[in-house]
Amino acid sequence: MKIIFLGSPGAGKGTYSTRIARLLDVPHVSTGELFREAIKKDSDFGNQVNEYVRKGRLVPDDITIITLKKRIDEPDCQNGFILDGYPRTIPQAQALDEVVKIDVVLNLKIHEIILIRKLSARRICDKCGEIYNIIDIEETLDGMDYNMPAMHPKTPGICDKCGGTLIQRKDDRVEVIETRLKQYHQQSEPLVRYYQSRGLVEDVYVNLGIDRTISRIMKKLKPQTVIK
Ligand code: ADP
Ligand code: ZN
C-alpha cells in the first residue's frame, strides 16, 4: 500500500506515519529524515541541504525529487511505503505521479494554536529520531475538544528506544515555526486540492491522544488493507 501523509507541521505526521508504517509493515520514508541524515554526514550534499533546512525553508524541488526517487527505488519499497513530508509542492507531486500510483492520502487536521504549542514542546532523539512531546493539552477551541496527553520518555531527556539524548530541533523554535507555517499555507495546501481532485484524500482530525487517532486512521485504511 502506498500512502501519503499530509498536514501542517506539528499535526503529528511524523508520529502517526511512523506508527502506521510499523502496523502495516512497510517502510516509513521521510524526506526530512533523509535530509537530516545527509546533514549529519557533513558532505557537500549535506551542507547544501542544510542551508535550507536550518532556516525552515523548503529544499529546492530538483534536489528533493532526486532524493525521494532514489529512496523509493530501493527493494524494501516495492510493496508499499508511507511518505511523510513528501510531496510538499505540486511539482513534487507530479514527479511522484510519474513513477508510482498512490492509494490514499491522509490529511491530518489540527487547530493552529494547538499546533504551535505542540511543536515548541516536541523533542526528538538525536540518534534514532523517535519523537516525544512534553506538554499535555486539554481544552476546547472553536467547538472541538482537544485532549492530547504528552508523550514523555521514561527517563527525562533520554530516548526509551535507544538511550540517545532528546533534543529540540533547531527548526522547532517559535520564529522558525512561523516561517514553516506560512510556507505550508502557500506551497503545500494546494496539494490537498491536487489529491482531492483525484478522490484520494481522507481527512483525519487530530484532537485526541495517539492511540485513539491511530485507530481512527486504521479504520480509514481498512478497505484498502483488505485488498492489499
Ligand atoms: P516538518 O514536517 O516538521 O517540517 P520534516 O522533518 O518533514 O519536518 O522536514 C524538515 C525540513 O526538511 C523542512 O523544514 C525542509 O527544510 C526540509 N524538507 C523536508 N521534506 C521536504 C520536501 N518534500 N521538500 C522540500 N524540503 C523538505
Ligand atoms: Zn532513540
Written as one letter, the residue type at 210 is I
- Give the residue numbers marked as catalytic: 13, 88, 122, 169, 180
User: Does the CB atom of residue 171 touch ligand 1 within 6 A?
Assistant: yes
Q: Where do the structural domains in the chain lie, given as residue ranges?
A: 2-220
Question: Are the CB atoms for 21 and 83 separated by under 8 Å?
Answer: no
What is the CB neighbour count within 10 angstroms for residue 111? 18
- Extract long-range pairs of 130-139: CB within 8 Å, 24+ residues apart: 130/159, 130/160, 130/161, 130/162, 130/164, 131/14, 131/15, 131/18, 132/159, 132/166
Listed in order, strand segments (DSSP E) in the chain are 2-6, 28-30, 81-84, 104-109, 122-125, 131-133, 137-141, 144-148, 166-167, 201-205
Residues with Cβ within 8 Å of residue 112, at least 6 apart in sequence: 8, 181
Residue 187 pLDDT: 79
What are the grid coordinates assigned to 53, written together?
533546512
Q: Across residues 185-208, what is the average pLDDT?
A: 92
Average the pLDDT over each of 61-65, 68-72, 189-193 and give the range with the smallest value. 189-193
Centroid of ligand 1 to alpha carbon of 227 (angstroms): 32
| Sheet strands side by side (includes 81-84) | 28-30, 81-84, 2-6, 104-109, 201-205
Q: Is the pLDDT of residue 52 over 90?
A: yes
Ligand 1 binding pocket includes 53 (Cβ within 6 Å): yes
Kindly state the cell numbers that stand for 166.
532528546
184 pLDDT exceeds 50?
Answer: yes
Instruction: Answer yes or no: are the C-beta atoms of 109 and 7 closer than 8 Å.
Output: yes
Q: Measured between alpha carbons, how far is 17 from 8 in angstroms, rounded to an integer?
A: 14
Q: 109-132 pLDDT, tens per residue?
A: 888 889 899 889 999 999 999 999
Which ligand 1 atom sits closest to the C-alpha of 53? 16
What lies within 8 Å, CB to CB, of 161 at 6+ separation is: 125, 128, 130
What is the C-alpha to C-alpha distance for residues 205 and 164, in angstroms, rounded to an integer? 31
Asked: is 2-220 a CATH 3.40.50.300 domain? The reply is yes
57 CA closest ligand 1 atom index: 16
Whether ligand 1 lies within 6 angstroms of the CB of 35 is answered as yes
CA of 182 relative to ligand 1 center, distance in Å: 13
Considering the chain, what is the average pLDDT of its residues? 91
Closest alpha carbon to 83 in 4, 192, 141? 4
Query: Distance from the CA of 30 to the center of ligand 1, in angstroms?
Result: 8
